[in-house]
Structure 1
Amino acid sequence: MAGVPRALDGEKFYYLTPLVALANLRYSEFSSKYRDLGLKTAIRVGTGRIKTGRKKKLNTDIENADIIVGTYEGVEQVLRSGSAKRLGRFGVIAIDEIQNLSEEERGSRLDGLIKKLRIISSKSQFLYLSATVGNPEELAKGLRAALVLHDERPVPLERHLVPVSSPGQKIRLMAKLIGREFSETSVEGYRGQTLVFTNSRRRCHQLASALTSQRAPVSPYHSGLSYERRRSIEAEFVGQRIAAVATTAALAAGVDLPASQVIFETLAMGIEWISPAEFHQMLGRAGRLGFHGSGRAMLLIEPGRSCSRAERRTEDQVAIDLLSSGIEPVSPIYTHEDLIEQVLADVSTFGLIKTGDLAKLQDFSIGFSSSLKPIIEELSKNRMVRKRGDSLVITPIGRITSSFFLAVDEGIFISRSIEKGRDPLSIVTGTSVFERAYVSERLQKGIQQLTRRKTSTRFFDSDILELLLRPKRRPSKWFQEIIWRISRDLLRCGCRSSPNCDCPPRKLSEVVIELRISGMDPDEISSELFKRYGIEAYPGDLTEYLNDTVRLGEAIARFADVLRKPGIADRARDVYNRIIG
């Protein structure tokens, strides 16, 4: 590893990755691999603070470590807090999965992080890693990096397109393919294992159940599972005790399991076809150097099938398009909100910066292209920055907004709500709501019996809420009780547009937080939501939301301190400490 020699000479080696799951894997790998060299490894991620049972103790002391594994946001948060000195003297900075520059939600943030690191550590060596960049020469030029290009895949990959006529035939064929792969052992001594990609978390469970009944031991594996359950499945897979996992396209980038085969059970992700970038990301999971001599990808397609009414292309047409597609070019796309966020992050990182230097800083970005003047005026107007001669100074409000990764309008909403004396819990749910609530299979079956048509699985879908509020036929007793509780707890409000307003998700979010404060863990909250409302909410999603409420609660407390509202600050700290558990 390129950063190790310089780490041995006293310079820090940073390895940055997009996902906490991948950071945890690399942390474990580097800790054991380089311990004998006398190198200390630490981890810096936007780690969850919700206590959900026993967790492995991690070294988070980045100031006294030689190797730091982190997520993009984990290191960015240190910069935005004005604490760049904590990161130490950089030797090598390796940024993995650089194709994330094209991500709609995170691309501009990654671009901003790289920009600031290149200024702060101009003498460091930067390594940008990816297997899916369609414009490597252009990207290397933008990053001012030398291009090292490997055209050949280290493990050969077979790609097979297999038409199937029915869902039943597809299940039987998958079971056969998984079983055949599991029965083979590579020259390296590893059994063949499979990743089955499908389009929803619920489908992961359905496939795992159906395939296991066909004597193909398969486990569901997705981000909605609890951390402990995911780690258990990972251990079973690495230990070769299960033949396959059924996972989603959305988790493809975070799956680091040594599979020899991938099966596309569908080419859809939700109600859309997967993109070429997602397809190539999933293909890349088949065949691991040092584990397998070759990889295999099986596309099981239903000719003529469409993923939604709005989509004209059929699955067989999509398959041909994907197989003939090249890897997409990588380039960050900035919205107006992204531009504002990044300028605020720049000022927050340096605390005080001349406007001329701020303009020069943007030269190190590969996607920022906008006049700074209107952005500075907007930030100044909203009390995020303050002008001082030819310089800009970060304000306390601006520092909190940036370091907690709040949008400027969210920072404004929170500070104004505090000034009006609003309760911290209502401020939290006014900023972030729990949206990943799904109609359970039992509730969906009851709804479909009433409507006699296929319905959405999203609980907050307008048609679902209308039906629950005003059912057209007399439902069963269980269904009546569920509707009564949903109406009483989630749908009663004075909005003219009810139930198609913001109140139902806010009310459910309050229920989730109150259940957590009462002492329930995410698994228990999941069970309670099903019991009360027929809602399916995965423990992993609940944990993620509760961690977000802790982030917001801490931000609210900091805002309240600055605005001299000690009562609200104390209440906010009490709330988020009780949510942490």
Structure 2
Amino acid sequence: ATASGKTLVGELAGIPKAMNHKKFIYLTPLVALANQKYRDFKKQYKDLGLKVAIKVGSNRIKAKNELTIANKSAKNADIIVATYEGLDFMLRSSRYDELKNIGCVVIDEIHMLDEQERGPRLNGLVNRLLRIFPDAQLIGLSATVKNSRQIASNFKMKLVEYDQRPVPLERHLIFTKNEYEKNSLLAKLSKKEFNTLSSKGYHGQTIIFTNSRRKTHSITQQIQKRGLTAAAYHAGLSYSKKVKIEKDFANQKISTVVTTAALAAGVDFPAAQVLFETLRMGNKWLTNNDFSQMLGRAGRPTYHDRGKVFLLPELSKEYDNESEEEMAIKLLDSDVDDINVEYSELDSYEQVLADISSIRNADIRNLESNYKKLETPLMFEEVVNLLYDRKLITQHNNKPSVLLPTKYGRAVSMSFLEIPKAEYIKKHINQDPLRIVESIEPFDSAYVSNRLVTRVAKALKTNVSTRLFADSTRTILTSGEVLAKIDAQYADKLLAMQIDFMDCKCKERPFCCCLERNISHKIIKRRLYGWGPNRISKEFMSLYDIHIYPGDIFTWLDQVIRTLEAISRIAHAFNNKKVSDNCNRLIKKIEQGK
């Protein structure tokens, strides 16, 4: 059940181990959650003399208003807080001697096994932990797992089920005629709840879930117009803005937070009420598991007497031939779905290579035996043959049944690279590393400003997407008709956009990759001049009416560093010191912003 103190269960198992000189590892999916737990544990267990370390594998960009996390050595730590990837990196690099004597590993949010990208990696990580540290106690925590018995069996865990919710939950369904009525209801419900004091003396606060960042801001404005304190909260905001909103909410200065469904896993607001402005996540319907996680945010035992959930479907609104009212009833009637880990071909290659990189002297028979337990699209032999063909693995000289990673293979595995991207890097290793980054990890979160979209839509009498990289937007923004019909100041912005980012001779123009690559190039160039994400964001708005959130620039620059590290590792594997050194020099400049 949600709000039932799962973290405490993990601590009750882990802290006694830490007190007896065995390491307690706490795993969480998100950097922000890991950082929060790291701060909590440092404060809570300082008096017990326990040392705490953090391993997140990212967040090294130094920038105003952003969070920089320096990974701490785990060697002398009693408690290690890590993201899944942070710990997996240590295993894949085969540098886990500092982890010996593990007593307990807690895997929070283990239902992430169901996620398309993260699921196979988490499944692989847990299985590697079982094989490398067979004496460690593993504990999986989740509020929403239907096939919990199967998951427990897969990971050799004992199932402990607790299905009582400490705070009762009310579910309400209100049909709305249109968006205006819906916004009015969102404000009324938020106001009514905030004016209600619980028996513990807390105002009732609200989380509103919607499906786009743009809508978090527009809904927030509508609520503020009706005299309420509200804030939009999403991944594009700077770290300092997010922390301020979290603190203001915790101190009851804000009645309502409007956030995206995609951020549900990272939202830790003590809300009494959850309102669903939409039942979609992006452009897809919510799954039963998503819905269960989100409504579970309503009601906390230390704050509230009850939790409330309201679904506000709009009558006659349809997506994928299904109406919102039908979907609302379906979700309210639903139970959570089984969690299944689905592997793609690329996942299969990555996980077998990760096993060979992590498990010292990995025996092919054991690898095959474990692989056969997974639902994968490829035979084990096919996976191993490709890894051989790409020179990612080799046989042990004296033990033919033992598989070892090549230097290249370990570099690829440590970098969490898909094989095609690794092969691209290998093929273009002597090119400018930044060109490689811009080709395989281009920036993809840019939007046309609301004012420019409004003017273009009015001039053409058609709907225009705010997503800059959408095909329809590219077509409209490069047409002569638009330039002729809109005000000169906006026509100038479009011309500047075309000249700076789309002045190519590609046959596919405007559907080629030049727009993404050139925007990526400009962001990196500005960073190398010493600019921070805020300043870069302001320049794009000023010159082109392109809206880029500072938080997205920060996150992407972090990804740029990880990709440069991957290029450096691969260059090092082939003894290309010049490229490796160049990458390391660029990494320092991008980290420091100079």
Aligned with residue 450 of structure 2, among 420, 425, 441: 441
Aligned with residue 533 of structure 1, among 516, 520, 544: 544
Q: Secondary structure at the match of 2:467?
A: coil
Aligned with residue 392 of structure 2, among 379, 384, 408: 384
Counterpart position of 1:158: 170
Whether 1:109 and 2:121 are equivalent positions in the alignment is yes
Counterpart position of 1:565: 576
Counterpart position of 1:283: 295
Counterpart position of 1:451: 460
Aligned with residue 312 of structure 1, among 321, 340, 345: 321
Query: 2:64 & 2:542 partners in 1: Cα distance?
Result: 23
Q: CA RMSD in A?
A: 1.7
Whether 1:429 and 2:438 are equivalent positions in the alignment is yes
Query: 2:441 & 2:382 partners in 1: Cα distance?
Result: 28
**Unaligned residue ranges in structure 2 (runs of 5+):** 1-11
Counterpart position of 2:533: 522
Determine if contact 1:331/1:366 at 8 Å carries over to the other structure: no
Counterpart position of 1:372: 380
Whether 1:263 and 2:263 are equivalent positions in the alignment is no
Q: Which amino acid counterpart does residue 588 of structure 2 have in structure 1? A: N
Q: Which amino acid counterpart does residue 28 of structure 2 have in structure 1? A: T
Write the mapping of 1:431-580 to structure 2, written as runs, cut at 5 A.
Answer: 431-473=440-482, 474=484, 475-580=486-591
Q: Which amino acid counterpart does residue 561 of structure 1 have in structure 2? A: H
Query: 1:57 & 1:437 partners in 2: Cα distance?
Result: 26
% same residue: 39
Q: Which amino acid counterpart does residue 283 of structure 1 have in structure 2? A: L
Query: 2:561 & 2:187 partners in 1: Cα distance?
Result: 43
Q: Secondary structure at the match of 2:268?
A: coil
CA offsets 1:513-557 (integer angstroms, 9 cap, x no match): 111111111111111111222211111111111000011112212
Q: Which amino acid counterpart does residue 274 of structure 2 have in structure 1? A: V
Determine if contact 2:111/2:339 at 8 Å carries over to the other structure: yes
Q: Secondary structure at the match of 1:427?
A: helix
Q: Which amino acid counterpart does residue 377 of structure 1 have in structure 2? A: N
Q: Secondary structure at the match of 2:322?
A: coil
Determine if contact 1:450/1:472 at 8 Å carries over to the other structure: no
Moved more, 206-215 or 339-348: 206-215
Aligned with residue 52 of structure 1, among 63, 67, 77: 63
* TM-score (structure 2 length as normaliser): 0.94
Q: Could you tell me how far 1:188 is from its partner in structure 2?
A: 2.4
Q: Which amino acid counterpart does residue 379 of structure 2 have in structure 1? A: S
Whether 1:63 and 2:75 are equivalent positions in the alignment is yes
Whether 1:77 and 2:77 are equivalent positions in the alignment is no
Query: 1:113 & 1:559 partners in 2: Cα distance?
Result: 23
Q: Could you tell me how far 1:370 is from its partner in structure 2?
A: 4.9
Determine if contact 1:119/1:361 at 8 Å carries over to the other structure: no
Counterpart position of 2:404: 393
**Alpha-carbon spacing, 1:367–1:90, altered in 2? closer, same or farther (3 Å):** farther
Q: Could you tell me how far 1:213 is from its partner in structure 2?
A: 1.6
CA offsets 1:345-374 (integer angstroms, 9 cap, x no match): 0111135322123224447x6545853222
Aligned with residue 99 of structure 2, among 55, 64, 87: 87
Q: Could you tell me how far 1:56 is from its partner in structure 2?
A: 7.6
Query: 2:295 & 2:28 partners in 1: Cα distance?
Result: 20
CA offsets 1:242-277 (integer angstroms, 9 cap, x no match): 111110000001101111111111112222222211
Query: 1:237 & 1:546 partners in 2: Cα distance?
Result: 29
Query: 1:402 & 1:6 partners in 2: Cα distance?
Result: 31
Q: Secondary structure at the match of 2:46?
A: helix
Moved more, 268-277 or 513-522: 268-277
Whether 1:16 and 2:27 are equivalent positions in the alignment is yes
Query: 2:583 & 2:171 partners in 1: Cα distance?
Result: 54
Whether 1:294 and 2:306 are equivalent positions in the alignment is yes
Query: 1:492 & 1:520 partners in 2: Cα distance?
Result: 25
**Unaligned residue ranges in structure 1 (runs of 5+):** none
**Alpha-carbon spacing, 1:558–1:69, altered in 2? closer, same or farther (3 Å):** same
Q: Which amino acid counterpart does residue 333 of structure 1 have in structure 2? A: E
Q: Could you tell me how far 1:59 is from its partner in structure 2?
A: 7.0
Whether 1:199 and 2:211 are equivalent positions in the alignment is yes
Counterpart position of 1:340: 349
Determine if contact 2:56/2:71 at 8 Å carries over to the other structure: no
**Alpha-carbon spacing, 1:489–1:537, altered in 2? closer, same or farther (3 Å):** same
Query: 2:434 & 2:253 partners in 1: Cα distance?
Result: 45
CA offsets 1:454-493 (integer angstroms, 9 cap, x no match): 1222101112112221232412212221121111111122
Query: 2:380 & 2:182 partners in 1: Cα distance?
Result: 55
Query: 1:187 & 1:453 partners in 2: Cα distance?
Result: 52
Q: Secondary structure at the match of 1:35?
A: coil
Query: 2:32 & 2:301 partners in 1: Cα distance?
Result: 20
Query: 2:371 & 2:457 partners in 1: Cα distance?
Result: 54
CA offsets 1:403-456 (integer angstroms, 9 cap, x no match): 0111111111111101xx211111111110111111110121122123211122
Q: Could you tell me how far 1:57 is from its partner in structure 2?
A: 7.0
Counterpart position of 1:242: 254
CA offsets 1:2-52 (integer angstroms, 9 cap, x no match): 111111111111111111121122222222222222212221112311111
Query: 1:6 & 1:185 partners in 2: Cα distance?
Result: 41
Counterpart position of 2:4: none
Q: Secondary structure at the match of 1:280?
A: helix
Query: 1:538 & 1:56 partners in 2: Cα distance?
Result: 18
Determine if contact 1:261/1:297 at 8 Å carries over to the other structure: yes
Q: Which amino acid counterpart does residue 523 of structure 1 have in structure 2? A: N
Number of corresponding residues:
575
Q: Secondary structure at the match of 2:162?
A: coil
Determine if contact 2:202/2:303 at 8 Å carries over to the other structure: yes
Q: Secondary structure at the match of 2:75?
A: helix
Counterpart position of 1:135: 147
Q: Secondary structure at the match of 1:93?
A: strand
Q: Secondary structure at the match of 1:24?
A: helix
Q: Could you tell me how far 1:285 is from its partner in structure 2?
A: 0.4
* TM-score (structure 1 length as normaliser): 0.96
Determine if contact 1:109/1:342 at 8 Å carries over to the other structure: yes
Q: Which amino acid counterpart does residue 566 of structure 1 have in structure 2? A: K
Moved more, 162-171 or 236-245: 162-171
Determine if contact 2:273/2:308 at 8 Å carries over to the other structure: yes
Write the mapping of 1:224-243 to structure 2, written as runs, cut at 5 A.
Answer: 224-243=236-255
Query: 1:183 & 1:11 partners in 2: Cα distance?
Result: 49
Moved more, 311-320 or 140-149: 140-149
**Alpha-carbon spacing, 1:287–1:347, altered in 2? closer, same or farther (3 Å):** same
**Alpha-carbon spacing, 1:191–1:297, altered in 2? closer, same or farther (3 Å):** same
Q: Secondary structure at the match of 1:75?
A: helix
Runs of 4+ in 1 over 6 A off after TM superposition: 56-59
Determine if contact 2:60/2:69 at 8 Å carries over to the other structure: no
Determine if contact 1:142/1:366 at 8 Å carries over to the other structure: no
Moved more, 296-305 or 551-560: 551-560
Q: Could you tell me how far 1:187 is from its partner in structure 2?
A: 2.2
Q: Secondary structure at the match of 2:47?
A: helix
Determine if contact 1:42/1:58 at 8 Å carries over to the other structure: no
Q: Could you tell me how far 1:561 is from its partner in structure 2?
A: 2.7
Q: Which amino acid counterpart does residue 62 of structure 2 have in structure 1? A: K
